[in-house]
Amino acid sequence: MQLTFLGTAAYEGFPNPFCDGGNCRETRQDFPDYSRLTSAVLVDDDLLIDFGPNIMAGAHKSRVSLFNVKTLLITHSHSDHLYPPNFGFRKKPYNASYESLPVMTVLSNSTVLDKITATNYFDPAKVLTREALPFEKIESNGYEITPLPAVHKVEEGEQCLIYLIEKNGRSFLYASDTGPLEASTLERLSSRIRKPLNFIALDATMGFVEVNEFPFHHSSAEVIETICRMRSLGILNTETKVFAHHFSHSSNHPHRKLEELYSEHGIGVTFDGLKISV
C-alpha cells in the first residue's frame, strides 16, 4: 500500500492562522514545507481516511487526484474529520466527470452516516453508506477493514473509531483522535492479527505537555507508552514503521524539533505530503 498524508494537524491547523505563539511563528518561517492541514490520508489512490474542510487543499498540496476513491473511512463527526460540503465536489454541476465518477462507499459510525445523508450534498447515486461496528471486519474494494473503538468524545452515544486496514498481506493501523486505548481493545487486536503490523500512525495531539489531563488524545509520553504496550502484546515489532500523527500547535514543536525528539525512540513524524510504502 502507498500512503499519502494529505494533512497531519489537529482541528486548528499548524500554524493556527490566528496564533502568534512561538511554535506558529517558527513554522511560518518554514512555509510551505512544514505547515500542516487538518488530518487525512490517501491509501493507494482509492481509499481515503477522513473528509475535513482541508481536503481540497490537501489534495492540491500533495499533487494527487481523488477521482478514483471508492472507499471513504471517517473516524468521527468532529468538523475537522467530517465536512459534508466536500460531497458537493462530486455532484453536478461541480464535477465535469460526474458520469464516470466511481460510486464511493462511506464507512463510519451511525452518527456520521446520519449527518451525511441528512444534507443536500448527499448524492445516493454516487455515494453508498455502510455502518462500521467495532471489531466487525468489512471487505471493500480489495481491502479488509477492521474498525476499532477509539477513546475519544464527541456527541453522547457516538462511538468514535480507528481503523486497521489490510491488503495483500500488508497492514496499516490509523489511530488518530484517540487517547490510550483500552486494554481490552489491545488484547482483542493482538488475538486477531496474524503477524505484527507493518505501519501505525498514532495520535500525538497533546504533544509535550508535562501532564495530560485530557484523556481523549495522546501526549508524547503516552505515544511512547502506547507503542511499548503494543510491542509487548506482539501487535508491533522492531520492523513496524511507527509514526506520530495529528499535531496541535499549542504543545507540539515545529516539525524538525519533533523529528529530533521522537527519533530518540525510533518513532517517525508525519508531515503533509509524506508518501510512504507499507
Residue ranges covered by each domain of the chain: 2-277
pTM over 0.75: yes
Q: What is the mean pLDDT of residues 140-159?
A: 96
Question: Is 2-277 in CATH node 3.40.50.300?
Answer: no
Residue-wise pLDDT tens digits, 190-242: 999 999 999 999 999 999 999 999 999 999 999 999 999 999 999 999 999 99
Cα–Cα distance between 242 and 176 in angstroms, integer? 13
Q: What is the mean pLDDT of residues 2-9?
A: 98
Residue percentage of the chain with pLDDT more than 90: 97
- Exposed, middle or buried by CB within 10 Å (0-12, 13-18, 19+), for 63? exposed
Q: Are 7 and 36 in contact (CB under 8 A)?
A: yes
pLDDT of residue 137: 98
Query: What does the DSSP assignment read for 193-214?
Result: -SS--SEEEEE-TTBT-SS---
pLDDT tops 80 at residue 277: yes
